[in-house]
Amino acid sequence: METLQDKSNKPYNMIEKYLYTWPHGELNGDSAWRKSEHSGYVEHPMPEKDEKLANDSRWPGFFPSAICFVTTGDENNNALEKVVGATIVNRFPYIVALSFCTKPLSERHYVRENFMKRLESGGSVAVQYFEPGKFIDKAMDAITNIDDNEIEKRIASTGLKTVKAQTNDSPVFEDAYLVYEAKLVKPGKDFEGNPIFDKPYTDYGSHRIYYLEIEAIQLREDIRKCETQIAWKSLPKWEAQKPLQQLTPSATKPVVDVKYQKGYTSDYFFPGKNTIGFEYDKIENGMAIKFLPPLPEDQVEVDNDKARWPCFFPSSVGLVTTWGEDGSANLMPCGSTSVLIRHPLCFAICVSYAKINVRYAPRASLKSLLEQKQFICGVPFANDTIVDAIKYAGNISITQDLDKINNAGLEYFEDEYGPVLSALPISYRCKIVDVVRLGTHFLMLGEVQSVIVRDDVTKDNCLKWYSYPDVVKVKND
Ligand SMILES: Cc1cc2nc3c(=O)[nH]c(=O)nc-3n(C[C@H](O)[C@H](O)[C@H](O)COP(=O)(O)O)c2cc1C
């Protein structure tokens, strides 16, 4: 294994070279940024101009997004791409969304024409994760050095061995420790009989978002047996340079009988004390393999624990705030949040509408989102106040606690698009431009109208993030 612990027992040595920081330069003094109407913040109006994008199409902001490698095709006609921000968007059926550039924006964001052709003709993919180190580097080199029009050469050029996926023909790297096999969704119906997926993708702006139903998951045996663990830091690191907020603890916090508590930690280990074990059907090539039943009806198990994701999938969380009809301020932590369109920059947030169990129940936020057609997506960071707030707000509905944000220990100020949580380094003001019914969740596409950033976010006091999960030896604590 590549991720050997060093003598000081630090598990994250190998991953250090993948550190990503934001901002890339000073925002103060950059002509794209101006003083916000909210004091103590700077703001970037959106969308950006085409010429500016052509020069530098890196996001004018940051959202914690994991990177995976995706293969498609078969032994003779295959393709490899990296995907930023792959995300689970629906629970039943179990769907991963992957987005690809369809319009040329810059050298970084160019059209993935040949990859998409193969994906659409074969109809399936294998989404794969490597440990930090040489395997990531080999895959990344192949993608960087070989153009999309010679895409069939990429996998061979990595020098890595592949085997066929279990449920489709996509090549699976023998060195991947986690693999999600998935196929393009077919038209169907949700539990209420509403039609879903007249087509397996959504086009908006510069990107196409594909919806792929997961058919099998492969997890390396040493991880399945908990000899090693996947270690995932789901929130960026950042230090506020001025008080986080003024708040004094609320005395009104209700004691609510919450039937199901969804846990949350920004420092996540899988498998771990608070995770489920990986239930598998067979073992092959050193991988434990679980097949997911084909029909959504078969996958529904009312039990809350069974409805949990069957295995680790790297995600973060967006803090989605809205105004209710009555002016109440709501906050819904949303793990299925990702930036899926580059231009205009769009967030996808996936909100449960299904009545399956306590875990998957319609969210009160849904009503405000559908009515107001706007929201704010705040970027949390690794901090006890923030993590406690996520746990509280993610387990109580505004229907149970009208003062949910304050009782979560957070302060907000008013903005047209929603309450802005003052402790968060970055907030995106979003207008909903599309709503896609997926089965249990609505995917809401929020086009960013402007980015608001605290003025203590600077190049020297940047957000720090690793886009790859690590694999570490088990900690014995
Ligand atoms: C870490 C975390 C992530 C969550 N992700 C989602 C999500 O992606 N989609 C969703 O519908 N609910 C998600 N939830 C649950 C909602 O945040 C929760 O049901 C909340 O109480 C809804 O509030 P509301 O009824 O006031 O809208 C998540 C909860 C937590 C703790």
- What does 131-151 look like in DSSP terms, one character per residue? -TTHHHHHHHHHHHHS-GGGG
Radius of gyration of the chain (CA): 22
- From the list 207, 182, 208, 212, the residue with the least C-alpha distance to 197 is 212
pLDDT of residue 307: 64
Within 171-254, strands assigned E span 171-173, 178-184, 188-189, 195-196, 201-204, 207-220, 228-233
Nearest alpha-carbon partner for 25 in 462, 329, 436: 462
Are the C-beta atoms of 79 and 98 separated by less than 8 Å? Answer: no
**Residue 29: per-residue pLDDT:** 87
By alpha-carbon position, which residue is closest to atom 15 of ligand 1?
A: 394
Between the CA of 327 and the centroid of ligand 1 the distance, in Å, is 20
C-alpha angle with apex 115: 109 to 119, nearest 5 degrees? 130
Closest residue by Cα to atom 29, ligand 1, is 394
Encoding tokens for residue 338? 């990702």
Please say whether the dihedral angle defined by the alpha carbons of residues 340, 341, 347 and 352, taken in this order, is positive or negative: negative
Q: Residue 332 Cα, ligand 1 centroid: separation in angstroms?
A: 5
| pLDDT score, position 6 | 40
Q: Tell me how far the alpha carbon of residue 321 lies from the centroid of ligand 1, in angstroms.
A: 11
> Is residue 213 within a helix (H) or strand (E), and if so which, with residue range?
strand 207-220
Alpha-carbon distance of 390 to 410, in angstroms, equals 10
Q: Tens place of pLDDT for every residue, the chain, 477 residues? A: 444 444 334 444 689 999 999 999 999 889 999 999 999 999 999 999 999 999 999 999 999 999 999 999 987 899 999 999 999 999 989 999 999 999 999 999 999 999 999 999 999 999 999 999 999 999 999 999 999 999 999 999 999 999 999 999 999 999 999 999 999 999 999 988 999 999 999 999 999 999 999 999 999 999 999 999 999 999 999 999 999 998 776 666 666 555 567 789 999 999 988 788 899 999 999 999 999 986 555 555 545 556 678 999 999 999 999 999 999 999 999 999 999 999 999 999 999 999 877 667 789 999 999 999 999 999 999 999 999 999 999 999 999 999 999 999 999 999 999 999 999 999 999 999 999 999 999 999 999 999 999 999 999 999 999 999 999 988 665
Residues with CB under 6 A from ligand 1: 262, 264, 317, 330, 332-336, 350-352, 363-365, 390, 394-398
Q: Is 308 left (phi over 0), alpha (psi -120 to 50) or beta?
A: beta
Residue 2: the pLDDT is: 42
3-class DSSP assignment, residue 236: coil
Closest Cα to residue 344, out of 28, 21, 43, 52? 52
Mutational pocket test of ligand 1: of 95, 262, 371, the residue with most ligand atoms within 8 Å of the beta carbon = 262
Residue 449 contacts residue 431 (beta carbons within 8 Å) = yes
Contacts of 31 (CB under 8 A, 6+ apart): none
The residue contributing the CA closest to ligand 1 atom 30 is 394
Name, in order, each residue with C-beta under 8 angstroms of 49's C-beta and a sequence gap of 6 or more. none
4 within 8 A of 15, measured Cβ to Cβ: no
Q: Residue 254: left if φ>0, alpha if ψ -120 to 50, beta else—which one?
A: beta
Pairing of strands 162-164, 171-173: antiparallel
Q: Best mutation site among 268, 334, 337, 407 for ligand 1, i.e. most ligand atoms within 8 A of its Cβ?
A: 334
Non-local CB neighbours of 7 within 8 Å, separated by 6+ positions: none
What's the gap in Å between 394 CA and the centre of ligand 1? Answer: 5
